[in-house]
Amino acid sequence: MSTTQGTITRVRGRVRVEHGAKRIRAYLGGELVADTIRPLLVWEKPYYPTYYFPLEDVRTELLSADGTALRSPSRGEGRMFTIRAGVSEAIGAALRYEESPFEELRNAIRFDWAALDAWFEEDEQVFTHPRDPYTRVDILTSSRHVRVEHAGVTIADTHKPTLVFETALPVRYYLPKTHIRMELLEPSDTVSHCPYKGQAEYWSVRAGETVHQDLIWSYPTPLPESQKIAGLISFYPEKVDLYVDGIEQA
């Protein structure tokens, strides 16, 4: 089920605009930059939306035009702004399309997600990008036989995988640590964030004298909706040889 209000949907080329219902807040330098209960969800790329804030819900006194223009075939001519809040400055991190073919965007501001310090959907901090209301994550226990090899060495072998089915992504196989040759793994400093699962930690794999970086990840303390994968380990099937019921996964 969508969490958008569903009152308006506009499409132009590959861009789609909808009205959202969540309260969205964005911070920079410890200061609140924007706070709205009327966000616009704009799919500028097909994978997830971007938030646009109504102009009246933005602290425009923190913005200054930097003279940079940006042309989008679907959204029109845009002007970029620098945000100054607290002791922080985010150059060109705000964008407005004042004469956009999308009427909804003309009085709205888009912020560069990575340029700001923190984003909140309602009272929960969100990382990496906004949650897509049309994305579903199903986590199911299974009895399939999963075997993982790398450089001719078997790393894992189990009949107790947990399968993660996420909209538009390949199936991911999460395995118990007790079914993995942990002596072949070396902890990595790499971390990543998923808006649906939380913060992941990584391991590299040592095969002979070679260390293959960041082939494996785990969510030690996932978000509540993904608790079923807590502490389990998954592999990039494009980086290892992964077999399910004897069939190698492409």
Mean pLDDT estimate for the chain: 92
Q: Give the Cα separation of 49 and 45 in Å (integer).
A: 7
pLDDT at 1: 38
Q: Give the Cα separation of 183 and 164 in Å (integer).
A: 25
pLDDT at 43: 94
pLDDT at 3: 45
Determine whether 115 is exposed, middle or buried from the number of CB atoms within 10 Å of its CB (0-12, 13-18, 19+): middle
pLDDT interval class at 174 (50, 70, 90) = very high
Q: Is the dihedral of CA 223, 229, 231, 233 positive or negative?
A: negative
- Give the DSSP letter of residue 230: B
Q: What is the mean pLDDT of residues 95-106?
A: 92
Q: Which CATH number fits domain 137-248: 3.40.50.720, 1.10.10.10, 2.170.150.40, 3.10.20.30?
A: 2.170.150.40
- What residue spans in the chain does CATH classification 2.170.150.40 cover? 4-126, 137-248
Give the whole-number percent of the chain exceeding pLDDT 90. 78
Q: Give the Cα separation of 187 and 204 in Å (integer).
A: 6
- CB 97 within 8 Å of CB 106: yes
Q: What is the pLDDT of residues 198-238, one digit of tens each?
A: 999 999 998 878 889 999 999 999 999 999 999 999 998 88
Whether residue 12 has pLDDT greater than 60: yes
Tokens of 202: 């990584």
- Kindly list the strands in the beta sheet with 153-158, ordered across the sheet, starting from the edge strand earlier in the chain: 153-158, 146-150, 241-244, 247-248
Q: Is the dihedral of CA 183, 184, 189, 191 positive or negative?
A: negative
Residue with the larger pLDDT of the pair 24 and 101: 24
Architecture, CATH, for domain 4-126: Beta Complex (2.170)
Min mean pLDDT across 114-118, 158-162, 167-171, 229-233 is at 167-171
DSSP-assigned letters across all residues of 102-122:
SGGGTTEEEE-GGGSSEEEET
